[in-house]
Amino acid sequence: MTSIKGRSVFGSIARGKLTFYHRDEFIINKIKVSDPELEYKKYVKAKNAALVELGELYDRARLSVGEGDAQIFVIHQMLITDEQYDSSIRTKILDEHFNADYAVASTSRSFAEMLAQMDSEYMQSRAADVKDVSNRLLRHILNCADKLPILRENAIICTGDLMPSETLLMDKTKIKGFCTRSGSVNSHTAILAKNLGIPAIVNVGAELSDEYEGKEAVLDGYSGTLYIEPDEHTLRQLEYKEAVEGRKKELLTRLKGRKNITRDGHEIKIYANILNSEELELAVKNDAGGIGLFRTEFMCFDRPAFPDEDFQFYTYRKALEAMEGKEVIIGTYDIGADKIPDCADMSAERNPSMGCRGIRFCLERESIFKTQLRALYRASVYGQLSILLPMVIDVSEILRVKELIVQVKAELIKEGKKFADNVKLGAMIETPAAVMTSDIIAKEVDFFNIGTNDLEQFTFALDRQNPCYDRVSPKNHRALLRMIKMVCDNAHANGIKAGICGEIAGDPTLTEIFLELDVDMLSVVPSRVLPLRKAVRSISLKDPKKAENDLKLFL
C-alpha cells in the first residue's frame, strides 16, 4: 500500500481506479513574422472564438453548478479582454513582430509567474485561470482540437492540475474523485469539485506518479489522503470513517420538519435560493422552509426571445406546487450587469453592474415586465406567492410597479383569469440608496430581502469578482452589518419582516449576530439549509452581556 498526503477539498470518500490525464502540450516557437497585421488578425479571431466558447461554458456551468460558480467563465472572459493582458500580446505582435502563439504564451507565462509569487493564496490560485485562458487562445491559434481523457467507469482523475473548463466538461457520471499534484483549495477547480459533490484532494506533490495508472485506490477527502492499493486494515478504517460521517449526515436529516429555534426560544425562517427546477428539487429534499429567492432571469438565456406568459406561468406554478403551501418568493427579472441574455438586446454599458438593471430594466421594458407580472399573478392561486423587486433605489419605483399591478389585475379580471388576493410585494435591499431610504420604502411593501452580494460590492466600492476582493474587503463586515441593522429596524418599525438572501446568510460565524440583529429569515443554497438549522438550534441568546459584546465587535 502507498499513501500520499495532500489538501482536502471536499469531505467524502471515493473508491476507483487511478486515471492519469495529460493535456496536450503546445509546441511554441519564437518566430519573427513578416506580416504582423496578418498575425494580429489571427490572434483577434482566436480571441473572439474563445469568448464565444466561454459564454457557452458559462451557460452550461450555470445549469449544473449554479450562477455563483459559473462566474468562473465570466472571469475568464474578463482576463481575455483585460487591457494589460491584451496590450502585452498586441505589443509583441505588432511592435515586436512575433508570432501570435508566442505572444500569447509568453504573456501568459509572465502573468502566471507574477500571480504565483504573490503572498495571497487566492491570488496564487488565479495563475491557473491565466493558463486556462491562454491555452484556450493557443488552441484556436494553432487550430488544435479540444482533448479530454477517455474515462473508464469509477475513475479517480489524477493530473498536475485541472483547468476549470476541464473539470466542467469531463463526464462526471464516470468520475469518483479528483487528485492533483499542485493546485489550491481556493482554485476555481476546487470550488467546482466541491459544489459538484466530487471528493477531491489537491497539492499532493510529485509522489503522484504515472506508474500508478489503473491501480485501485481510495481517496479520503476528509483527511486529504490518497491510498493506492490499500490493505485490509486501511479499508476497514476508511469504511468505519465513512459510516461515522454518514451518521452525521443522517443526524442532519433528522432535523427535517423541526423548527429553526434557538435553545432560548428565538425562531428564524430558513429558506432556499434557487434558479432552476433541479435546485427546486434540492430545496424540497433539504426541507427548506420556503423559497427565499427564485431568480427568474436565468429562464431568459439560450432563447431568441423572452419566455412567453404561458411558459412562465407553468414554471412558477411548478415551484408553488412543489413547496406545498410554503412561501415562494419569486424575483422579477434582474437583467443587467453579468446577466444579459441575447434576447434582452441591450446596448453596451461602460459599467453594467451600475447601469440599467433589475427594476430599472423592467420599468423601461414595461410590456416584458407586464407579461411576467401576469404570469406571476395567474400562478398565485397554486401556492403562497410573494413577488420581489430587485435593485430598488427609490420608493417611486415601488409606486410605479403598483400601478402596473393594478393594470394587470384589471386585465386578468376582464379575461376571467383567477389570481390570489394575498400576494405580497417586497423590495430587494441591495443598494446603499435603498438602505438609507428603507424607512420610506417600508411603508409601501410587505417585506424586505437584503441582497448582500451586490450591497457588499456597492458599499466597499469593489467588484466581488475582483481578484483583490478577499485581500481588501473588511473581514468583520462592520459597514454591511450596520446597514443590515438599519434595514431590520426600519422594517420592524413599519410592521414588516426583513430577511437576508445573499451569500453571507449561510456563514455560520455570523448566524448568532443575525439572530441578535433580529433578522427574520435567512435564505441560502439548498445544501446549507440543514447545517444552518443545526447551527440555529445550538445557539442561546439569553446572555445579554455576551450579546452586547458580540454586537460591539461588529457594530
- Cα distances (angstroms) measured from residue 423 to each of 122, 157, 296, 367, 385: 44, 50, 17, 21, 6
The contacts of residue 391 (CB under 8 Å, 6+ apart) are 334, 336, 357, 358, 359, 360, 428, 430, 431, 454
Residue 498 in contact with residue 488, Cβ under 8 Å? yes
What is the spatial distance between Cα 292 and Cα 492, in angstroms, rounded to a whole number?
A: 19
170, 191 contact by CB (below 8 A): no
Among 9, 354, 46, CA closest to 178 = 9
Quick one: 36-141 is in which CATH superfamily?
Answer: PtsI, HPr-binding domain (1.10.274.10)
311 pLDDT exceeds 80? yes
Handedness of CA 360, 365, 366, 371 (dihedral sign): negative
Q: pLDDT tens digits, residue range 497-543?
A: 999 998 889 888 899 999 999 999 999 988 788 888 888 988 887 76
2-22+150-252 belongs to which CATH class? alpha beta
**pLDDT higher at 61 or 134:** 134
pLDDT digits 0-9 by tens, 66-102: 665 677 788 788 888 888 888 999 999 999 999 999 9
Judged by average pLDDT, the poorest of 17-26, 106-115, 251-260, 532-541 is 251-260
pLDDT at 446 over 80: yes
Q: Which residue has the higher pLDDT, 352 or 24?
A: 24
Confidence grade of residue 380 (pLDDT, cut at 50, 70, 90):
very high
DSSP state of 266: -
**Which has more pLDDT, 250 or 205?**
205
What are the cell numbers at 208? 503522484
Q: Locate cell 435560493: which residue?
A: 273
Q: For the chain, what are the domain ranges?
A: 2-22+150-252, 36-141, 258-554
- Classify 4 as helix, strand or coil: strand
Segment 28-39 mean pLDDT: 90
Q: Own/partner pairs for 102-111, CB < 8 Å, 24+ apart? A: 102/28, 102/29, 102/30, 102/31, 103/43, 104/43, 104/134, 104/137, 104/138, 104/141, 105/26, 105/28, 105/134, 105/138, 107/134, 108/133, 108/134, 111/85
* The pairing of beta strand 225-228 with beta strand 2-5: antiparallel
Instruction: Tell me which of 3.40.50.300, 2.130.10.10, 1.20.200.10, 3.20.20.60 is the CATH number of domain 258-554.
Output: 3.20.20.60
Question: Does residue 410 register a pLDDT over 90?
Answer: yes
Task: Please tell me the predicted confidence (pLDDT) of residue 483.
Answer: 95
**How many residues comprise the chain?**
555
d(CA 137, CA 42): 10
- Give per-residue pLDDT as tens, 485-498: 999 999 999 999 99
| Mean pLDDT for the stretch of residues 103-122 | 77
SS (H, E, C) 414-450: HCCCCCCCCCEEEEEECCHHHHHCHHHHCCCCCEEEE
**What residue ranges in 442-501 does DSSP mark as E strands?**
447-450, 497-500
Give the residues across from 153 on adjacent strands: none
Band (pLDDT 50/70/90 cuts) for residue 329 is very high
Does 426 score more than 60 pLDDT?
A: yes
pLDDT tens figures, 220-270: 888 889 999 998 998 888 888 878 777 666 666 677 777 888 888 888 999
Which range (26-35, 202-211, 245-254, 257-266) has the least confidence? 245-254
- For the question of residue 188 being annotated catalytic, the response is yes
Q: From CA 339, how far away is CA 110, in angstroms rounded?
A: 31
CA distance 458 to 233: 55
Bridge-partner residues for 402, per DSSP? none
Does residue 149 surpass a pLDDT of 70?
Answer: no
Q: Cβ distance 273 to 524 under 8 Å?
A: yes
Q: What pLDDT, on a 0 to 100 scale, did the predictor assign at position 348?
A: 55
pLDDT in the model for residue 64: 65
Active-site option among 188, 300, 362, 488? 188
What average pLDDT does the chain have? 84
Which is the catalytic residue, given 179, 356, 488, 501?
501
pLDDT of amino acid 340:
60
CB-CB contact of 193 with 161 (8 Å): no
Residue type at 393 in one-letter notation: I
Q: pLDDT tens digits, residue range 288-303?
A: 999 999 988 877 766 6
Over its C-alpha atoms, the chain yields an Rg (Å, rounded) of 26
Residue type, 483: M
Model confidence at 379, pLDDT cuts 50, 70, 90, reads very high
Residue owning grid cell 487591457:
83
Whether 128 shows a pLDDT value over 90: the answer reads: no
Contact between residue 141 and residue 43 where contact means Cβ atoms under 8 Å apart:
yes
Alpha carbon distances (Å) from 457 to 187, 349, 361, 440 = 21, 18, 20, 23
pLDDT at 336: 64
Would you say residue 316 has pLDDT above 80?
Answer: yes
What's the confidence (pLDDT) of residue 270? 94
Give 148-153 contacts, CB < 8 A, sequence gap 24+: 148/21, 149/19, 149/21, 151/19, 151/175, 152/17, 152/19
Residue 487 buriedness (CB in 10 A; 0-12 / 13-18 / 19+): buried
